[in-house]
């Protein structure tokens, strides 16, 4: 690990430009080529889904979900990461739609998604961003749809996360359907499966098929 990588590890990136610098390196300390079994499970249905990834980085996981037969929109606020993600899938017949964007303000996205996932983005957000993130995910998901989230218990944001903390942030818009402790990347962390609740404004036709998850 060189000095720049050591500084990145000691002081996690916080801004888009910070992440751009990190993604220009040969590797990132948070990079992982292994597709988590929790994500494989989510993508395991034979029914084609419209899926949203938040904080996609260089796009490995979105690519895997597309290869499982689904359509994916993937967002990251690092243009460097998105450029690398697009280059990675350039020769693929079917590819994710990669977008540069802020996960706490996804105003450019429309329509409803059948599922969404986030492997290591949410835990980088501050308290205000976390609240906005939860509202945006709920706006974009069909009622009953699953949001799969992996987050460190003691994250870069400095805001401790736990099942209780997740329930508080996601509030009445979601139900914490399931949670499981994890040692992904050898760190204390959790997987969370959140189900989007239906609001009075949403029609029954928008509800996700619960048999899919």
Instruction: State how far the Cα of 52 lies from the Cα of 147, in Å rounded to an integer.
Output: 9
pTM: 0.86
pLDDT for residue 33: 73
Q: pLDDT tens, 34-82?
A: 899 999 999 999 999 999 999 999 999 999 999 999 999 999 999 999 9
| Mean confidence (pLDDT) of the chain | 87
pLDDT in tens, 163-199: 999 999 999 999 999 999 999 878 899 999 999 998 7
pLDDT band at 24 (very low <50, low <70, confident <90, very high): low
Please give the sequence-ordered ranges of beta strands (E in DSSP) within the chain, or none if there are none: 50-54, 71-76, 97-100, 113-119, 141-152, 174-182, 189-196
Show me where the domains of the chain are located: 33-199
Q: State residue 212's pLDDT score.
A: 56
Considering the four listed CATH numbers 3.40.50.450, 3.30.70.890, 3.40.50.150, 2.60.40.10, the one that applies to the domain covering 33-199 is 3.40.50.150
Confidence of residue 156 (pLDDT cuts 50, 70, 90): confident
């Amino acid at each position: 690990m060189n000095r720049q990588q050591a500084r990145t590890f000691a002081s996690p990136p916080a801004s888009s430009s910070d992440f751009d610098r990190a993604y220009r390196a040969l590797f990132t300390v948070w990079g992982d080529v292994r597709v988590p079994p929790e994500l494989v499970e989510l993508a395991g249905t034979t029914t084609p889904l419209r899926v949203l990834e938040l904080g996609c980085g260089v796009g490995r996981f979105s690519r895997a979900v597309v290869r499982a037969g689904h359509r994916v929109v993937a967002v990251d606020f690092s243009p460097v990461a998105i450029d690398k993600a697009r280059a990675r899938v350039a020769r693929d017949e079917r590819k994710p739609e990669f977008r540069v964007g802020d996960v706490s303000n996804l105003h450019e996205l429309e329509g409803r998604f059948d599922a969404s996932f986030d492997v290591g983005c949410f835990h980088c957000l501050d308290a205000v961003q976390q609240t906005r993130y939860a509202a945006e995910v709920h706006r974009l998901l069909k009622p009953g749809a699953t949001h799969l989230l992996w987050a460190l218990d003691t994250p870069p944001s400095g805001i401790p996360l736990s099942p209780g903390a997740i329930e508080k942030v996601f509030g009445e818009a979601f139900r914490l359907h399931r949670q499981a402790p994890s040692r992904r990347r050898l760190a204390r962390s959790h997987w969370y499966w959140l189900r989007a609740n239906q609001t009075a404004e949403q029609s029954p036709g928008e509800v996700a098929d619960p048999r899919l998850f």
